[in-house]
Amino acid sequence: SRIRHYKFRVVRKNTTRLCASKPIIVVNGEFPGPTLYAREDDTVIVRVVNHVTDNVTIHWHGVRQLRTGWADGPAYITQCPIQTGQSYVYNFTFTGQRGTLLWHAHINWQRATVHGAIVILPRLGVPYPFPKPHKEEIIILGEWWKADVEAVINQAMRTGLPPNVSDAHTINGLPGPSPNCSSSGYTLHVETGKTYLLRIVSAAVNEELFFKIAGHRLTVVEVDAAYTKPFVTDTIFIGPGQTTTALLAADQPIGKYVIAISPFMDTIVATDNQVATAALRYAGAALLSGSASTAVPARNATPVTTAFEDGLRSLNSPEYPATVPAGAADHSLLLAVGVGVNPCASCVNGTRVVAAVNNVSFVMPATALLQAHYYNVSGVYTADFPAAPVTPYNYTGVAAPANMVTATGTRVYRVGYNSTVQIVVQGTAVIAPESHPMHLHGFNFYTVGKGIGNYDSVNDPKRFNLVDPVERNTISVPTGGWTAIRFRADNPGMWFLHCHLEVHTTWGLKMAILVENGKGPNESILPPPKDLPKC
């Protein structure tokens, strides 16, 4: 294993998309940002320097950060932000993971433009558990607003209404070819007969997406830096924060084929139909030939999302076994997630849309939770997060609960080192049922079950897959349904759990899980680095 050094200069840069320019925050002048390459067991040392007037933090999404929570990145959870002119060195090791992840800013809505891919290659000399591709390509999906993104959410918070949807989706930073703006889209170049490994990363802000390539099928081999059984599909469903690595065989007639992404939004408030396109181009294709097009799934194509997710299984081979905690979990949580409405004197309707977990809308503390925990600072949070909704109701029924007002608080759920945890995330229909891509920091978890309707704690667990469930760090909770995950709490620290739709996070759909130190020599969180930012 080796040590790899990176320098991330966070700067503002004027950038043109959709025929208009605006200054955006980026890393090293690049949008999307630079790729972080490493091998399993390598340590990376990333020096992040803040050259903008905004506060900054960087999160290494999906990196386990074993005992190194100080390097995780979510603002006010594991660190105070890096202020203007300051720097912070993120130092961490890739342990037990290989594949594709992403890094992104983790403060306000900065991640809309501050993001990039992480590629963790196998140890030197260790092959992939699938045929070696001819070439590898990184494909980053995103969203673009013509307005400044912080202005978009600030305006929404002032009015109490949902924020504007993005003006375009992007593939490797580009919305697609537009003769009006004399801009071209991204092109993936291939040669007939060869196979390519596509590392697809979703850095989208508020939308889950479908990804398709006309005339081709894809073989998924890894998601969220965990190998899967090869799974052949013509559509990939990917939520913000998720990654999907798939083999593409260039086995079709020489020509040009459309690559398309489109939003999955099955809620009544969906207003976005935008499709972004890129091109798959075979060597030798005629310069001006037209592209074979592809039909994207309907915006509310829930069956397509279900078929994709049900097709994913852990590889579970002798080299890469699935280690699913079996039996009764030490901690069993039912987390009801969704949106509600709170009073707001200064808002247009006198109310504000909020989001919550078990009716608690999380309030960001002024000091990072991990510091408060480590230094025993009281008054920053309480460790009394409810393990189940305090007032149970018919979560997915049409009738909303009598009270849609959420409580507020900075509450965390505490578990002992190495305990086993089962979390059932239950979607709710308080305002409308909606799909939520839930992300847990500090762990990979197994998705042992999911279903539509209200979770049945007696019968549903009988159908859990404890053999080869897919291993992920972000999982979508189906609209009007639930998802169950399991993991072993073998990583001491303060770990954020939130909906990766940024608007839901802003509204309060977030909480933290505190994993206490173990008693063994390598079971406690390491001391903080000296340059850890102060609030």
User: Site residues (CB under 6 A) for ligand C2O?
Assistant: 59, 61, 74, 104, 106, 241, 439, 441, 496, 498, 500
CB of 454 vs ligand C2O, minimal distance in Å: 27
- The span from the first CA to the last CA of the chain, in angstroms, equals 35
**Which single residue brings its beta carbon nearest to ligand C2O?**
61
Q: Which is nearer to ligand C2O, 277 or 435 (CB)?
A: 435
**513 is written with which tokens?**
């899980």
Residue 373 or 498 having the CB closest to ligand C2O: 498
Per the CB < 8 A criterion, the answer to whether 113 and 31 are in contact is: yes
- Min dist. Cβ of residue 77 to ligand C2O (A): 8
In angstroms, give the least distance from the CB of 210 to ligand C2O. Answer: 20
Taking the C-alpha atoms of residue 120 and residue 95, their distance in angstroms, rounded to an integer, is 10
Q: How far is the CB of 242 from ligand C2O (least distance, A)?
A: 9
Q: Which is nearer to ligand C2O, 59 or 373 (CB)?
A: 59
Distance CA 410, CA 422 (A): 22
Least distance (Å) between residue 342 CB and ligand C2O: 23
Nearer to ligand C2O, 104 or 313 (CB): 104
Read off the tokens for 474: 């972000």
| DSSP structure string for 81-125 | PBPTT-EEEEEEE--S--EEEEEEE-STTGGGTSEEEEEEEPSTT
H or E segment and range at residue 370: helix 369-374
Give the integer Cα–Cα distance in Å for 269 and 284. 45
Distance, in Å, from the CA atom of 330 to the CA atom of 420, rounded to the nearest integer, reads: 5
Q: Residue 62 or residue 401: which is nearer to ligand C2O going by CB?
A: 62
In the complex, minimum distance from the CB of residue 103 to ligand C2O, in angstroms, rounded to a whole number: 9
* CB of residue 473 to ligand C2O, shortest distance in Å: 8
Q: 61 vs 450, which CB is nearer to ligand C2O? A: 61
Q: Which is nearer to ligand C2O, 74 or 325 (CB)?
A: 74
Measured CA distances, 77 to 323, 364, 372, 413 (Å): 28, 8, 10, 13
Using an 8 Å Cβ cutoff, are 358 and 386 in contact?
yes
Q: How far apart are CA 312 and CA 494, in angstroms?
A: 29
With respect to ligand C2O, which residue has the nearer C-beta, 235 or 447?
Answer: 447
Pairing between β-strand 256-264 and β-strand 187-190 as defined by DSSP bridges: unpaired
Residue 462 sits at φ, ψ, to 5 deg, of -65, -25
* Comparison of 171 and 509: residue with beta carbon closer to ligand C2O: 509
Phi, psi angles (nearest 5°) of residue 236 = -105, 135
Nearest-approach distance from CB 104 to ligand C2O, in angstroms: 6
User: In Å, how far from its chain's centre is CA 379?
Assistant: 30
Owner of token pair 């189906």? 478
Choose between 59 and 450: whose C-beta lies nearer to ligand C2O: 59
Least Cβ distance, residue 364 to ligand C2O (angstroms): 13
Distances in whole angstroms, Cα of residue 260 to Cα of each of 292, 294, 441:
11, 7, 30
3-state SS of 145-168 is CCCCHHHHHHHHHHHCCCCCCCCE
DSSP code string of 424-461: EEEE--SS----EEEEETT--EEEEEEEESS--TTTGG
Q: Minimum distance between the CB of residue 203 and ligand C2O, rounded to whole angstroms?
A: 9
Q: In angstroms, rounded to a whole number, what is the distance separating the alpha carbons of residues 389 and 334?
A: 7
Instruction: For ligand C2O, give the closer residue by CB, 33 or 74.
Output: 74
β-pair type (208-213, 235-238): antiparallel
Least CB distance to ligand C2O at residue 102 (A): 7
Q: CB of residue 106 vs ligand C2O: minimum separation in angstroms?
A: 6
Distance of closest approach, residue 74 Cβ to ligand C2O, in angstroms: 5
Closest C-alpha to 139, from 165, 169, 106, 166: 169
Q: In this complex, which beta carbon is closest to ligand C2O, that of residue 74 or of residue 389?
A: 74
Token look-up 């020096």 returns 47
Nearer to ligand C2O, 208 or 468 (CB): 208
Contact 454, 396 (CB under 8 A): yes
Residue 357: CB atoms within 10 A of its CB come to 27
